[in-house]
């Protein structure tokens, strides 16, 4: 990773982000995921696959008073996440730890009120990885596959906690089957057309109970974001299910 990252902003400038000049850079998925977390002041949030900390910082900007812990595999990205917490005056409530999800989380962590996660979208069996090693790790499953990510996520939650996942829509059924097996089968699904992405909110249930929420249309037919998407992406409004 280059020593001089770029400085960018999201949420209409409310969140500043240092991120690699090349390789994996955040997309709107992080802001959408953060907006879907219905956190309250004083609650705890775990961000699995934190990258440079965008999800946690967006939650913190929208809901002051949350305690947010990020878990990131890549030390260089985790270091940027820690710098970003300082840059956004949030170091007292947003922290990022280096950890491989193939292994159990440190015992001192959790349980959490909310877990938000944006796992690598591509299975190693079908992926054509980026030649950039950091981007490849961020986008292709490596030491922990999707089932492992969901196992860790649900295991870190309080009994009445909430899991939020953003992923490719073509892996939705895999997600639902895994969550039901883990005992988190009360799911609400929100599609994000025209993007091939889906948000899944899961709560405890022994059997799969599926509800499809009204989709969030991201783009106008002629281009540009819809008013509803603009309110979330630019102005920090929550993403309602």
The pLDDT assigned to 47 comes to: 98
The arithmetic mean of pLDDT across residues 228-237, rounded, is 96
* Least confident among 125-139, 146-160, 200-214: 125-139
pTM value is: 0.94
pLDDT grade for 4, boundaries at 50, 70 and 90: confident
pLDDT band at 99 (very low <50, low <70, confident <90, very high): very high
pLDDT for residue 127 = 60
Distance CA 196, CA 62 (A): 26
pLDDT attached to residue 131? 77
CATH code linked to domain 25-217: 3.40.50.150
Average pLDDT of the chain to the nearest whole number = 93
Yes or no: say if 26 and 49 are a contact pair by the CB < 8 Å rule. no
Residue 29: predicted pLDDT: 96
- Give the pLDDT of residue 1: 45
Per-residue confidence band for 110, with pLDDT thresholds at 50, 70 and 90: confident
């Amino acid at each position: 990773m280059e020593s001089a990252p770029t400085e960018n902003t999201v949420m209409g400038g409310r969140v500043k982000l240092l991120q690699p000049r090349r390789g994996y850079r955040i997309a709107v998925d992080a802001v959408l995921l953060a907006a879907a977390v219905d956190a309250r002041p004083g609650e705890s949030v775990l961000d699995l696959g934190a990258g440079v900390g965008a999800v946690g910082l967006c939650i913190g900007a929208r809901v002051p008073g949350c305690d947010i812990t990020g878990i990131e595999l890549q030390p260089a990205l985790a270091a940027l996440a820690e710098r970003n917490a300082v840059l956004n005056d949030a170091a007292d409530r947003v922290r990022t730890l280096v950890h491989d999800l193939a292994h159990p989380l440190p015992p001192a962590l959790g349980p959490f009120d909310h877990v938000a996660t944006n796992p690598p979208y591509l299975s190693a069996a079908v992926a054509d990885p980026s030649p950039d090693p950091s981007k490849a790790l961020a986008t292709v499953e490596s030491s922990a596959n999707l089932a492992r990510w969901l196992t860790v996520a649900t295991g870190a939650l309080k009994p009445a906690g909430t899991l939020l996942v953003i992923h490719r829509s073509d892996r939705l059924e895999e997600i639902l089957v895994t969550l039901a097996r883990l005992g988190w089968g009360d799911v609400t699904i929100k599609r994000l057309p025209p993007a091939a992405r889906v948000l899944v909110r899961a709560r405890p249930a022994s059997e799969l109970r599926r509800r499809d929420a009204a989709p969030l249309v991201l783009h106008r037919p002629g281009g540009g974001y819809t008013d509803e998407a603009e309110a979330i992406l630019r102005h920090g409004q929550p993403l309602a299910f």
